[in-house]
């Protein structure tokens, strides 16, 4: 939600894209739609509009170039001089860099697309919401794989002495570390799936018992960045997505008339669902129990997991789990790569140290899925 009192609220579906490969890491190729060009035809331009758009373009270009060569200090001029403006992002980038070095991973190529969704314009500030999709080609021990994510960012800009600077940046509806105090606080539906149905074939799955991990993984790959129109999508969609993957793998629903019992969802008119289908901690408790319908087995480390297994995340380390992912592959070090929703992710390294929700107290729970 945009909280500033708007002088001008605008929306846009245009985007700019960029890419880089290891052989040309100092070169970025920018494709700009007409609304992002430095000059506009007809009707003129609003004062300051091009200026902030160019600033945002340069910022994300610098982000991608820094991810290639590790020189994150080039981002400092984009932020205000207060240390608090960049501290969280600086820490996140350093965690990501350190983990890549520990894994022996090299970034071979990166492609990105930034789409401005809407912005609020006041006298000296801008609050901008952008969708940032990033695709990376990574190399590790003679093997290559592709990692991708799609994020919604809110940037706050301040203009002083005719110069823009970032005074706030946060991922909107990203990996959630906020505690839900009561299970009865249901996630909010934000997408019905109608738009996806236009471009994507409908896939309806019915549980048959047992567990076909390959089918669960195939579903996770198919829908990691979109919505199966059979199901609703929520603001915090991670558990709903994981439940769909498990069901696609053959795990049957345990139907009940009570939301606090079973594991189920009823779609269509008057849709309803169990807490265990949509709430991260409720699914964690069901998996931890080892009972039907997943018959999950708790594992002591991520290395013991195989594709189709589930990881639960307690970002705060307080015993309440807020996120779930599904293992879709293992890297050359035999460590899990995962897919997830909310921050839509594909082949992401399991540890989530690159997450904006990371805290030093983060805990994990690892589950192998057997099925009934």
* Non-local CB neighbours of 212 within 8 Å, separated by 6+ positions: 249, 250
Q: What element of type H or E holds 89?
A: helix 87-103
Multiple choice CATH, 189-368, 3.90.1720.10, 3.40.1160.10, 1.20.1290.10, 3.40.50.1980:
3.90.1720.10
* pLDDT attached to residue 275: 98
* pLDDT attached to residue 39: 28
* pLDDT attached to residue 187: 52
* pLDDT attached to residue 182: 39
* Non-local CB neighbours of 246 within 8 Å, separated by 6+ positions: 211, 216, 294, 310, 326, 369
Whole-structure pTM value:
0.79
Report the C-alpha dihedral over residues 116, 122, 126, 130, rounded to 10 degrees: -20
Any idea which fold 8-171 has? Nuclear Transport Factor 2; Chain: A, (3.10.450)
Of 216, 226, 174, 243, which is closest to residue 305 (Cα–Cα)?
216
* pLDDT attached to residue 21: 56
* pLDDT attached to residue 25: 32
* pLDDT attached to residue 20: 57
* pLDDT attached to residue 315: 97
Residue ranges matching CATH 3.10.450 in the chain: 8-171
Range list of β-strands (E), the chain: 8-11, 16-21, 31-32, 106-121, 125-140, 143-160, 163-171, 189-191, 233-234, 265-266, 272-273, 297-299, 310-314, 323-330, 336-340, 344-349, 363-368
CA 370 – CA 297 distance, rounded (Å): 7
Residue ranges matching CATH 3.90.1720.10 in the chain: 189-368
CA 73 – CA 153 distance, rounded (Å): 21
- Return the structure tokens found at 205: 């799955």
Query: Is the sign of the CA dihedral 189, 195, 197, 199 positive or negative?
Result: negative
CB atoms within 10 A of CB 225: 14
Backbone angles phi and psi of 335, in degrees to 5: -110, 150
* pLDDT attached to residue 14: 59
- Return the structure tokens found at 82: 């207060």
Per-residue pLDDT of the chain (372 residues; tens, 9 = 90+): 222 223 344 455 456 665 655 433 333 333 333 333 322 233 344 554 447 888 999 999 999 898 888 888 999 999 987 767 678 888 888 898 889 999 999 999 999 899 988 988 877 889 999 999 999 999 999 999 999 999 988 899 999 888 899 998 888 655 554 444 334 445 544 443 333 333 333 344 444 558 999 999 999 999 999 999 999 999 999 999 999 999 999 999 999 999 999 999 999 888 999 999 999 999 999 999 999 999 999 999 999 999 999 999 999 999 999 999 999 999 999 999 999 999 999 999 999 999 988 999 999 999 999 997
């Amino acid at each position: 939600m945009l909280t500033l009192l708007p002088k001008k609220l605008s929306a846009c579906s245009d985007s700019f894209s960029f890419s880089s490969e290891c052989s040309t890491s100092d070169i970025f190729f920018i494709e700009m739609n007409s609304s992002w060009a430095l000059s506009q035809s007809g009707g003129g331009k609003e004062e300051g509009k091009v200026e902030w758009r160019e600033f945002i373009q340069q910022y994300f270009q610098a982000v991608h170039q820094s991810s290639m060569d590790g020189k994150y200090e080039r981002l400092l001029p984009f932020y205000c001089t207060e240390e608090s403006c960049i501290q969280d992002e600086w820490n996140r980038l350093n965690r990501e860099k350190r983990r890549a070095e520990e894994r022996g991973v090299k970034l071979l190529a990166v492609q990105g697309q930034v789409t401005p969704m809407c912005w609020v314009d006041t006298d000296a500030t801008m609050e901008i919401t952008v969708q940032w999709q990033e695709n990376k080609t990574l190399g590790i021990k003679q093997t290559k794989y592709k990692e991708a994510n799609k994020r919604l960012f809110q940037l706050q800009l301040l203009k002083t002495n005719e110069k823009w600077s970032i005074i706030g940046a946060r991922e909107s509806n990203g990996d959630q570390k906020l505690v839900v105090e009561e299970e009865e606080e249901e996630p909010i539906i934000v997408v019905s799936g109608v738009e996806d149905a236009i471009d994507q074939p409908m896939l309806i799955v019915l549980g048959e018992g047992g567990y076909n991990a390959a089918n669960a993984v195939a579903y996770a790959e198919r829908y990691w960045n979109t919505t199966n129109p059979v199901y609703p999508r929520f603001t915090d969609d991670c558990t709903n997505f994981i439940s769909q993957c498990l069901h696609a793998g053959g795990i049957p629903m345990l139907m009940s008339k009570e939301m606090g019992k079973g594991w189920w969802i009823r779609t269509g008119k008057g849709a309803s669902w169990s807490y265990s289908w949509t709430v991260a901690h409720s699914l964690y408790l069901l998996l931890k129990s080892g009972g039907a319908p997943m018959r999950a087995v708790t594992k002591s480390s991520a290395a013991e997991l195989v594709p189709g297994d589930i990881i639960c995340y307690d970002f705060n380390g307080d015993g309440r789990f807020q996120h779930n992912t599904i293992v879709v592959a293992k890297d050359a070090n035999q460590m899990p790569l995962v897919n997830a929703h909310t921050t839509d992710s594909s082949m992401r390294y399991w540890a989530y140290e690159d997450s904006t929700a990371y805290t030093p107290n983060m805990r994990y729970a690892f589950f192998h899925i057997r099925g009934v």
